[in-house]
Each structure stands twice: as C-alpha cells, then as structure tokens.
Amino acid sequence: MAAENWVYMVTAQTPTNIAVIKYWGKRDEVRILPVNDSISVTLDPDHLCTVTTVAVSPSFDRDRMWLNGKEISLSGSRYQNCLREIRSRAGDVEDKEKGVKIGKKDWEKLHLHIASHNNFPTAAGLASSAAGFACLVFSLAKLMNVDEDPSQLSAIARQGSGSACRSLFGGFVEWKMGSKDDGSDSVAVQLTDEKHWDDLVIIIAVVSSRQKETSSTSGMRESVETSLLLQHRAKDVVPKRILQMEEAIKNRDFASFTQLSCADSNQFHAVCLDTSPPIFYMNDTSHRIISLVEKWNRSEGTPQVAYTFDAGPNAVLIAGNRKVAVQLLQGLLYYFPPKSDTDMKSYVVGDNSILKEAGLDGANSVENLQPPPEIKDNIGSQDQKGEVSYFICTRPGRGPVVLPDQTQALLDKKTGLPK
C-alpha cells in the first residue's frame, strides 16, 4: 500500500423492488433467512433508486456513513454483517494513475466512507432499505474488486435487509429461501430481464398516513410468533403460488399475474390481522383503491390492473399496458384529485409523460374528468382531496450499475467527505 493520501472511490445506482409474492417471516433472524420464497419486480431506477458512493483512503480513521446527507451510525449488526462479509471477499486493487495499490489483506485495516442518497422521499414509506443495502453491497463489491456474481452478492445484501437481495437484478426476481443453516443457498436469481414484459406500467399511490407503522422487521417477528395463518401460508400456499407466478411471468399471462399478485397481497395483510396484537398496514384509502380496482377488473371480465401493498398504506398498481394505465390514472385522479394549489407535475411524478396521454396536462383537466363507468354507486366521488400525497408512474427496470461520471459522486474526491 502506498503511503500517499489518495482517495479511491466508486459510485453505483441500485433500483428498489416490489414483491408480488411476499416475503413475510424469518426462520433465522440473524442471517435473515425467510420462511418462504418470494418474487418481485424491479422498478425503473430513473424514478426510484439509491445512489451510493463508497470511498477508501489511508487517511480515513474509521468507517463512516451518511444517508441523505446526515451521518448515521454503522454500529448496527446488519451493517456490520454486510461490511464483514464483503471485506472477507475483497481482492487486489490497483490504479496506477492515482498511485493506488491495495492488496487483499490491506482491506482489513483500511476504513471506508459511504454516502447514500435516495431519489425519493424516505418518508414516502417505499422500500428504501431494499435499494439501500443492495447499493451498499454492490458498490463495495466494485470498490474492493470482489469476484462474485450478483446471486452471491445477493446473499450478502440479504443480511442487511431481506428484500434487498432482490434488488441485485433487473426485471422479475425470485428470492429462493434455501434450506441450509448457513444461508449460503438463500439467494436471489433473475427470472426474466426488464425487457421481457416491458408493456407493464406501474403506478404507485403514495397514501397519506398519520400513524407510525410497525416496522417490517418487528411485524414479521410478531407474525412468526403468533399467526397460524403464516404457518399455513408458508407451508401450503406460497410454494404452489411461486410455481404459478413463474409460469405467469414466463408467458406474460396478465390475468394469472393479477390474480396471484392480488391474492398474495391480501393474504399477507390477512396474516398481519391474524397476528397478535393485529397489525394494520392498509388504511381506508388503501381499501378504497382495492375496491375501485376490483370493480373495474370485474366489469371488464378480464383483469386490467393488479394491486399489491407492502408494510404500509401505499398502493402499487400494475397495468397490463399503457392504454389501461392511462384509464387507470384518469380514474385515480377522479377519486383522488390533488389539492387545489398542487401542480399536476408534482402530483404525478416519475414518467409523467402519461399526463399528456391522459389529457391531464392542462388547467382544470381534473375537474373535467368523468366517473369511471363501472362505478355505479356513489362511493366517494371527488371528495378525497389529500388522501393521496402523490402518484409515481414507473415501469419494470434494470439492475444495479456503476456510474462512471465523477460528477455524480456523493463524496469529494480529495477529502472523501460528503460534497
């Protein structure tokens, strides 16, 4: 190792993911080993992602991390497990131009600076830990020249947060629960890449919530301890559903995909209700969105839109194609219009080119929306202002990438401190 005070760094971007067959319950809390397999779709990182810069320098005196600009502690066991696992696989690194030469063994003594940023508000209750831990592990693997494939890296990210292991790939991803005690076969694999089913459109309704939700970690611990339905789900229901979902994705069979996604989301929330004390993640707005989608799907005869809800009230709605997504957005904005002072472009974010297609880019366009024809009763017309904070329009997306452009780094190349 040369004695100069160089700073060597890597910046990477990693997507978030949403499960369509849910992970809920651990058989090993420390290694984060699940009680069932799960399947997710990776969301386009242009709209939802984490960017992480990791740096190493002989001048750093301890490992430090900044999340969204604020320094956070790395002392928790999840961070420590990820750092230990990745350090133990580090390789030799040499950058002649910068005068950097790090041998395998040096990594044990060298300290790291890590800066991470989500391009979506943490308060939105979207799975930031999934993208966060996946990005931490992916960027460190690049920095340290770790010679492991994405599945092997997923087993490290898993130890940061279970759902993070599925963010190591784009497209549709399966986390195989594995059977070994050491967790080495509890890894994510890619089912299909993001191009395989690229007419899907995903609209997320970020639902306003006043209550502080039970964290996934403690919620699933309580479910494992008290819910008989969880045992039945893990043993008898999910194994069959996983096979059916694999088929549905392979064949782009939207009807089966929708039936399975909705049923699995509803069963996950039923397990939460079956937990003692019961856990409520969805609220009235979530339930209203489910009713609207169910009514629409029924009236069309074939499913148009799938829904799924994680450990919070936000609705993730998956439309089979762009035309359906346009109708969906019109229906959603009819029932959940923005507050009068809200600009449409900040109410529908992500791929908001859809606003134009929906005829919703002009002034007063929301007021002119007609009620969806299938809704005959008058369940809440345009009186739900403020129930949805905003919508994110996105699609299936790619896996992690290194960002070679130095201007995107979150750490200063001379000091290794946040810019």
- Which residues make up the interface to ligand DP6 (CB under 6 A)? 19, 22-24, 32, 38, 127, 129, 161-163, 216-217, 310-311
Q: Using CB positions, name the residue nearest to ligand DP6.
A: 162
Q: How far is the CB of 261 from ligand DP6 (least distance, A)?
A: 12
User: Which CB atom, from 127 or from 315, has the smaller least distance to ligand DP6?
Assistant: 127
Q: What is the 3-state secondary structure (H, E, C) of 367-393?
A: CCCCCCCCCCCCCCCCCCCCCEEEEEE
Q: How far is the CB of 19 from ligand DP6 (least distance, A)?
A: 3
User: Which CB atom, from 9 or from 49, has the smaller least distance to ligand DP6?
Assistant: 49
Burial class (CB in 10 A: 0-12, 13-18, 19+), 399: buried
User: Which CB atom, from 271 or from 388, has the smaller least distance to ligand DP6?
Assistant: 271
Q: How far is the CB of 51 from ligand DP6 (least distance, A)?
A: 20
Count CB neighbours of 146 within 10 A. 21
CA gyration radius for the chain? 22
User: Which CB atom, from 131 or from 410, has the smaller least distance to ligand DP6?
Assistant: 131
- The three-class DSSP label of residue 142 is helix
Which amino acid belongs to residue 249? I
Cβ–Cβ under 8 Å, residues 227 and 234: no
Q: What is the 3-state secondary structure (H, E, C) of 341-359?
A: CCCHHHHEEECCCHHHHCC
User: Which CB atom, from 32 or from 203, has the smaller least distance to ligand DP6?
Assistant: 32
Q: How far is the CB of 135 from ligand DP6 (least distance, A)?
A: 14
Query: Cα(121)–Cα(36) distance, rounded to whole angstroms?
Result: 30
Cβ–Cβ under 8 Å, residues 7 and 139: no
- The three-class DSSP label of residue 56 is strand
Q: How far is the CB of 33 from ligand DP6 (least distance, A)?
A: 10
Q: How far is the CB of 379 from ligand DP6 (least distance, A)?
A: 27
User: Which CB atom, from 217 or from 256, has the smaller least distance to ligand DP6?
Assistant: 217
Query: Cα(363)–Cα(379) distance, rounded to whole angstroms?
Result: 26
Cβ–Cβ under 8 Å, residues 288 and 282: no
User: Which CB atom, from 286 or from 330, has the smaller least distance to ligand DP6?
Assistant: 286
Q: How far is the CB of 31 from ligand DP6 (least distance, A)?
A: 11
User: Which CB atom, from 23 or from 254, has the smaller least distance to ligand DP6?
Assistant: 23
Q: How far is the CB of 174 from ligand DP6 (least distance, A)?
A: 11
Q: How far is the CB of 365 from ligand DP6 (least distance, A)?
A: 34
Q: How far is the CB of 179 from ligand DP6 (least distance, A)?
A: 18
Given CA atoms 66, 1, 91, 30 in this order, what sign does their dihedral have?
negative
Q: Which residues of 328-345 are buried (b: 16+ CB within 10 A; e: fewer)?
A: bbbbbbbbbbbeeeeebe
What sections of 182-250 are H helices per DSSP?
Answer: 216-226, 228-232, 238-250
Q: How far is the CB of 41 from ligand DP6 (least distance, A)?
A: 11
User: Which CB atom, from 161 or from 261, has the smaller least distance to ligand DP6?
Assistant: 161
Query: Cα(120)–Cα(249) distance, rounded to whole angstroms?
Result: 28
Query: Cα(125)–Cα(213) distance, rounded to whole angstroms?
Result: 9
Token pair belonging to 137: 């592990």
- Output phi, psi for 27, to 5 deg: -95, -15
Cβ–Cβ under 8 Å, residues 345 and 353: no
User: Which CB atom, from 13 or from 163, has the smaller least distance to ligand DP6?
Assistant: 163
- The three-class DSSP label of residue 282 is coil
User: Which CB atom, from 41 or from 388, has the smaller least distance to ligand DP6?
Assistant: 41
Token pair belonging to 318: 């998956």
- The three-class DSSP label of residue 256 is helix
